[in-house]
Amino acid sequence: MPDLTLWGLFVVASLVLLLTPGPAVLFIVARSIQQGRTAGLVSVVGIHLGTIVHIAAAAVGLSALIVSSALAFAIVKYLGAAYLIWMGIRTFMAKDVNPELPVVPAEPLHRAFRDGFVVNLFNPKTAIFFLAFLPQFVDPMRGALHWQILILGLTFMVLGIMSDSVFALAAGAAGDFLRRSRRFQRLLRWFSGTSFIGLGATAALATNK
């Protein structure tokens, strides 16, 4: 079990990081506005299921292997980058929704879940984040390190689910109104597509240093 003082500091630091919009938040907001709150919340679940994989990897040392191995890092990096860029291109090619028709999800919810999971799973920055961030709050005198990392990682994930769900609900509520504007649909498609491609390019240029 981590030291309670260190755990409290970790919670504060995690909240600061989580409330600073990053790739996951941009993905959730874009999905929530485009398809509604339910799709946004499903995306949150997918993203944090991917987080569980990174937590487990950090606990057993796989993250260290990925970061230290140029080949393993490159495979994860370019798979994730290609998927993000493909999502951006697909977003650009989507058609406007007729504002006179009932609002329906543009895609099945299982696809929102899958996209969120894959985006986070193949994000090398997430692996590096856990490798660099968690050890600062681990005390070797408190017992097995992998259990401490697991507890800290799950704490971060729970906080992330809570904060990301707030973003999804807020964006989804605004989306009910904004989706009916054709101009906003075009702006959203441009913003979402550019964001995905930009995230893909950022992931492709990420280094393991």
Q: Is residue 18 domain-resident?
A: no
Q: Is residue 156 domain-resident?
A: yes
Q: Is residue 16 domain-resident?
A: no
Structure tokens given for 106? 């543009």
* CA atoms of 79 and 200, how far apart (whole Å): 9
pLDDT for the residue numbered 101: 35
Q: Is residue 151 domain-resident?
A: yes
pLDDT in tens, the chain (209 residues): 667 777 888 888 788 767 766 667 778 887 888 788 888 899 999 999 988 988 888 877 756 666 677 777 677 667 767 877 887 787 777 665 444 433 444 567 888 898 889 878 877 667 767 766 776 677 767 767 778 888 888 998 999 899 999 989 988 887 766 666 667 667 767 776 776 677 677 667 755 54
pLDDT for the residue numbered 89: 84
The number of distinct structural domains making up the chain is: 1
- C-alpha pair distances (Å), 170 with each of 51, 143, 173: 22, 41, 5
Q: Is residue 114 domain-resident?
A: yes
pLDDT for the residue numbered 1: 65
Q: Is residue 17 domain-resident?
A: no
Give me the domain span that covers residue 113: 4-10+24-99+106-205
What type of residue is 49? L
**3-class SS string, the chain:** CCCHHHHHHHHHHHHHHHCCCCHHHHHHHHHHHHHCHHHHHHHHHHHHHHHHHHHHHHHHCHHHHHHHCHHHHHHHHHHHHHHHHHHHHHHHHCCCCCCCCCCCCCCCHHHHHHHHHHHHHCCHHHHHHHHHHHHHHCCHHHCCHHHHHHHHHHHHHHHHHHHHHHHHHHHHHHHHHHCCCHHHHHHHHHHHHHHHHHHHHHHHHCCCC
* CA atoms of 180 and 76, how far apart (whole Å): 38
Q: Is residue 19 domain-resident?
A: no
Task: Tell me which residue of 193, 198, 175 sits closest to 40, measured CA to CA.
Answer: 175
Q: Is residue 15 domain-resident?
A: no
**What count of other Cβ atoms lies within 10 Å of the Cβ of residue 102?**
6
pLDDT for the residue numbered 100: 42
Count the alpha carbons within 13 Å of 189 in the hemisphere toward its beta carbon: 17
Structure tokens given for 206? 């990420």
**What count of other Cβ atoms lies within 10 Å of the Cβ of residue 71?**
8
- What is the value of pTM for the model shown? 0.66
pLDDT for the residue numbered 49: 92
Structure tokens given for 79? 């798979």
pLDDT for the residue numbered 112: 85
